[in-house]
Amino acid sequence: MIPLRPAIQTMAGYIPGYQPPDIACWIKLNTNENPYPPTPKVRDAILEELGCDGASLRTYPSASSERLRQAAGELYGFDPSWIIMANGSDEVLNNLIRAFAGEGEEIAYIHPSYSYYATLAEIQGAQVRTFSLTDEFRIAGFPQRYTGKLFFLTSPNSPLGFAFPTDYIETLATRCDGMLVVDEAYADFATDNALDLVRRHENVVITRTLSKSYALAGMRLGLAIARPTVIAALDKIRDHYNLDRLAQAACLAALQDQTYFRTRCDQVTSTREFFTQELRKLNYTVISSQGNFVFASPPDRDGRRVYEGLYARKILVRHFSAPLLVHGLRISIGTRQEMEQTLSALREIGQGPDT
C-alpha cells in the first residue's frame, strides 16, 4: 500500500472542462476561453524571447517577475509590492489556502461558483463550508461575523454570470475575521470591480487571470493584488520560478497593449448582449451576465437535452450535473458568427416536448 495522506487517498480530484483533441472541428464554448487570438505583440514577444536558436531557455527566468509586477502595478494603480504574479490564477488560489488555512480549519465559498476551491481545501485538509444564494443573488444566511480563515467570492460569478455590487462586497469584508478573496477572473468583462477594496481593507485579496480577457489560457498567467504583507507571505510559498520565460514575455506584451485588449473585450461583451437577447426570443431564461459567458435555461428546463443536441452538432458548451444547475447550460461567448451558428442549432433542437 502506498503511504498516501488519507485526504489525498479519498479525494476525487478536480475535473476541468473538456479540451477535445480535434479542437478545430468544434465550436468550443465550454471553458470561457476568448474566441480571439491574443494581441499579435504576444507572438512577437515570445519569438523575440526565444531568439533564433532558443538559447535564452538555457537559463532560469526572473524569479520575481519584477517587470510584470511593475506593468500590472501601473495598470491597476498599485505599487508592485501589492502584486504577485502566478502560473494561472489557480496557482495563487492554491497558495492562499496554503498560507491561511491549516488542517481542520475552515474555508468557505458560494455554491454555485468555482468548485476548484473545494479541491484545493481538500488537498490541504481544510474544512469546506458552502453558502447558498438568495433569489436576488445575495448570500443566504451569511453570519454577522464569519470566523473561517478564507472566504472565496467569485464575482462576476461563474457559472451564473451576475456580479455582486461593490458596496455589498465591502460589507462582507467587514464581517470576515479571515481573508475575503474576490476571484475576479471575469472582471474585465464587467462594469465594475472591487480593486478599491484592497486599499481600504487589509483582509481583501483580488485575484485576476489573463486566461479569459487577454486570450492567454494556454500560457497560464494570473495575479493577485493585496497588502504587501499578504503578498510577501504568498511569495514565500510559490514555486520560485513559477512563470517561465515565454509566459513572462507574453504577459508583458499583453498587458502593454491595452488598445487591443479593450477592443476585444468590447467585442465579446457586445456579442454577449446580442446572444442574450436572441436566446430570450427563443424563450430561454438567461441571467444577465457580467462575464464572457451566459447561464441559460431552455423552456422545458432540460439542460442535458440541449447539451446533447448541441454536442451532436459539434458545439461544446458546459452542462453541470449539480441539482441547482442541471436545468441550464453555461455557454461561453464566441465570435458573432459562432453565436449565430449556436442560435441556429438551438432553433433546430427546439424547445422541448411540452412547449
Ligand X SMILES: Cc1ncc(COP(=O)(O)O)c(C=O)c1O
- Cβ proximity to ligand X: between 32 and 124 the closer is 32
Which residues within the stretch 21-80 sit at the binding site for ligand X (CB under 6 A)?
32
- Cβ proximity to ligand X: between 154 and 271 the closer is 154
C-alpha cell at 349: 433542437
Task: Examine residue 89 and tell whether it contacts ligand X (CB under 6 A).
Answer: yes
Task: Examine residue 222 and tell whether it contacts ligand X (CB under 6 A).
Answer: yes
Using the contact rule CB under 6 A, the part of the chain among 1-9, 88-96, 160-168, 261-269 near ligand X is 88-96
Nearest-CA neighbor of 334 among 304, 309, 314, 312?
A: 314
Total count of residues recorded for the chain: 355
Task: Examine residue 158 and tell whether it contacts ligand X (CB under 6 A).
Answer: yes
Using the contact rule CB under 6 A, the part of the chain among 2-10, 46-54, 84-92, 189-197 near ligand X is 84-92
Nearest-CA neighbor of 265 among 288, 291, 289, 247?
A: 291
Using the contact rule CB under 6 A, the part of the chain among 61-69, 83-91, 95-103, 272-280 near ligand X is 83-91
Using the contact rule CB under 6 A, the part of the chain among 189-197, 209-217, 231-239, 297-305 near ligand X is 209-217
Which of 30, 154, 297, 332 is in the footprint of ligand X by CB under 6 A? 154
Helix (H, G, I), strand (E, B) or coil at 316: strand
Which residues within the stretch 111-130 sit at the binding site for ligand X (CB under 6 A)?
114
- Cβ proximity to ligand X: between 56 and 166 the closer is 166
CA dist., res. 110 & res. 87, Å (int): 24
184 φ, ψ (degrees, to nearest 5): -105, 45
- Cβ proximity to ligand X: between 114 and 261 the closer is 114
CA dist., res. 150 & res. 309, Å (int): 40
Please report which residue ranges of the chain form alpha helices under DSSP H.
6-10, 40-50, 66-76, 89-100, 116-124, 166-175, 195-200, 228-237, 245-256, 258-281, 303-312, 336-349
Which of 78, 84, 90, 302 is in the footprint of ligand X by CB under 6 A? 90
Cα 14 to Cα 91, 120, 121, 141, distances in angstroms:
14, 9, 12, 27
Task: Examine residue 342 and tell whether it contacts ligand X (CB under 6 A).
Answer: no
Number of residues interacting with ligand X: please give it, by CB under 6 A.
13
Residue 139 C-alpha from the chain's centroid:
20
Which of 105, 170, 183, 257 is in the footprint of ligand X by CB under 6 A? 183
The residues of the shown chain that bind ligand X, judged by CB under 6 A, are: 32, 88-90, 114, 154, 158, 183, 185, 209, 211, 217, 222
